[in-house]
Chains A and B, each alone.
Chain A
Amino acid sequence: MPVPTLEDFMARAYAMELEATERYAQFAEQLDTHNNREVAQMFRKLAAVEALHAKRILEEMHWPSMPALPPAYAWESAEGPETAPFDAMHYLMQPFHALEIALRCELQAQKYFEDIAASKAPKNVREAALEMADEEREHVRLIRDWLKRVPQAKPGWDEDPDPPSTTE
């Protein structure tokens, strides 16, 4: 997907952060519903971090509000590169799993920016992409550090002798 101008590139970056924020917030709500408060809180934190990144883009570009976004179907992947898929979730998941999801998303975002930095986009776009890729690399490092501080999931973590039943 060609990125013709810096504004277009930053609008995509903003859309990416916004989608990631919304998805993490949805995950937090899902886990609240299933009374998995610890991981819900973790997703809420991740949503706040992504929201901060989105805000920073607005400030950097001196945009008063959300720019005109590229079409929803513009991503090369099914959704934005930093958006965690719905099927990554489980009601019995642990903090370790939430961080694994976040790590995958940050790695995808890093690759997305690296690809643009290596593309034939205008020089100022490539420079901005390189900067973003560096930021994502730093996030990857932070999440890897965080992962070391939480207990790993034991085999059978998702086994439930009495799985949920939804009532009408």
Chain B
Amino acid sequence: MNAPGVVAAPAAKDFKSATKPVWCPGCGDYSVLAAITKALATLGLRPENVAVVSGIGCSSRIPAYTTCYGFHGVHGRALPAATGLKAARPDLTVLVASGDGDGYSIGGNHFLHACRRNIDLTYIVMDNHVYGMTKGQPSPTTEPDWSSKLAPGGTGLREFHPLVIALASGANFIARAFSGDPNGCAALIAQAVRHPGFSFVEVLSPCVTFRPEQREWKTRVHSAPVEPTDDPGRAARRLMTDDGFNVGVLYQGSRAPYRPASRSAQRVEDLECQFRL
């Protein structure tokens, strides 16, 4: 029992809403949801001090499954919405949830500029190399030779390399996690939230319905054999030999986060004036 007036720190379950996920059983996103709630509990945060912003896709359903503030926005536009939110409410911890289609294709441009701006956000991208919600079209991270009913013979297109792009664009923290290790994933997300600036965590999160072969990822992932670096050159050289299954923190930079100068709050009536036709 707590002393009078002392409120117990929320546990992971306190960050889970009563809405039941509709993901396919076996989906890696269940683990990522568990990892996010564990990370938030580990950090001693309270649901009312956290916002989860997303775009569109299976992974983007996460805000509904948490008790934090949530914004389930427009396809590919989670990062601009989250950037605006963090600029207006720097006191909030802002997490952005996305997938490889939403984040790297439709929202690819926003990804570059969010890295460049280095605003204090944690960007969690659940990468399953496929558009699962719309029945399995190839995504930017799909292998060129992945043959399916919707792309017979494969696309023949080179994959997008999110970690390389994040590093080149200026992200301040870059890591890769695996949904098959929810506790390890939680630890990496907690680390990303603690790190100031734009933190990017790519989570390998299998789609067992449209990419059942991804169940084998658990035999392929391995801990990165090196310590994180703050040297972008060294991080870039490491990425040259990255097999896509190294898990851990790749880069931890020290660039100061972008914090827009705070302006005095405007009255709602004044804001409405700006939208009057």
Chain A residues close to B by CB (< 8 Å): 26-27, 29-34, 36, 72-73, 75, 78-79, 85-91, 93, 158, 163-166, 168
Query: How far does the alpha carbon of A31 sit from the alpha carbon of B136 in the complex, in Å?
Result: 21
- Number of residues in B with C-beta < 8 Å to the partner? 37
| A166 in contact with B208 given A86-B30, A89-B25 (CB within 8 Å) | no
Tell me if B180 and A165 are in contact (CB < 8 A): no
Task: Determine if B30 and A166 form an interchain contact, defined as CB atoms under 8 angstroms apart.
Answer: no
Q: Is A72 touching B183 in the complex (CB atoms < 8 A)?
A: yes
* Residue ID in chain A nearest B60 by CB atoms: A168
Nearest A residue to B135 by beta-carbon distance? A165
- Chain A residues with CB under 8 Å of B25's CB are 27, 30-31, 34, 36, 89-91, 93
B182: chain A residues at CB < 8 Å are 78-79, 86
Residues of B within 8 A of A93 (CB): 25
Least Cβ distance of B43 to chain A in Å? 13
Determine if A163 and B209 form an interchain contact, defined as CB atoms under 8 angstroms apart: yes
- Asked whether, in the complex, the Cβ of B136 is within 8 Å of the Cβ of A87, the reply is no
- Shortest CB-to-CB span from B73 to chain A, Å, is 11
Question: Can you pick out 10 interface pairs between chain A and chain B where the beta carbons lie within 8 Å of each other?
Answer: A26-B30, A73-B187, A86-B28, A86-B31, A87-B31, A87-B215, A93-B25, A158-B212, A163-B135, A168-B133
Instruction: Determine whether the beta carbon of A166 is less than 8 Å from that of B218.
Output: no
Which residues from A are CB-within-8-Å of B132?
Answer: 166
Cross-interface CB contact of A165 among B38, B133, B184, B186, cutoff 8 Å: B133
Q: Which residue of B lies closest to A30 (CB)?
A: B25
Tell me which residues from 126 to 164 in chain B have a Cβ below 8 Å from any Cβ of chain A.
132-136
8 closest cross-chain pairs (CB), A and B: A89-B25, A89-B26, A78-B181, A30-B25, A86-B30, A86-B31, A166-B133, A91-B25
Say yes or no: B184 contacts A78, CB within 8 Å: yes
Task: Select B24's contact among A29, A34, A72, A168, beta carbons within 8 Å.
Answer: A34
Distance from A18 Cβ to chain B, minimum over Cβ atoms (Å): 11
The interface bits of chain B over 25-47 (1 if a CB of A lies within 8 angstroms of the residue's CB, else 0) are 11110110010001000100000
Nearest-neighbour CB distance to chain B for A20, whole angstroms, equals 14
Q: Which of B38, B58, B136, B179 contacts A166 (CB 8 A)?
A: B58
Residues of B within 8 A of A91 (CB): 24-26, 209
In the assembled complex, the Cα of A163 lies from the Cα of B58 at a distance in Å of 14
Report B-chain residues with C-beta under 8 Å of the C-beta of A85.
180, 218
Q: A86-B31, A86-B179 are in contact. List 13 more A-B contacts (CB 8 A).
A: A30-B30, A36-B25, A73-B183, A86-B26, A86-B28, A86-B180, A87-B31, A87-B218, A88-B26, A89-B26, A93-B25, A165-B135, A166-B133
Contacts of A86 in B (CB 8 A): 26-28, 30-31, 34, 179-180, 182
Known: A88-B26, A90-B26. A78 touches B20 (CB 8 A): no
Assess whether A166 is in contact with B23, with CB atoms less than 8 Å apart.
yes
A27 CB to nearest B CB, Å: 7
Q: Does B21 contact A (CB under 8 A)?
A: yes
| B240 part of interface (Cβ distance < 8 Å) | no
Chain B residues near A165 (CB-CB < 8 A): 133-135
Q: Could you say which residues of chain B place their CB within 8 Å of the CB of A31? A: 25
The answer to whether A163 touches B210 (Cβ under 8 A) is: yes
CB distance from B203 to the nearest CB of A (A): 13
Residues of A within 8 A of B27 (CB): 86
Q: Which residues of B contact A78 (CB under 8 A)?
A: 180-184
On chain B, the residues within 8 Å of A88 by CB distance are 26
> What residue in chain B is nearest A166 (Cβ atoms)?
B133
Q: How far is the CA of A73 from the CA of B181 in the complex (A)?
A: 11
**Complex contact A166–B26 (CB within 8 A):** no
Name B58's closest neighbour in chain A (CB-CB). A166
Find chain A residues with CB under 8 A from B187 CB.
73
Contacts of A75 in B (CB 8 A): 183
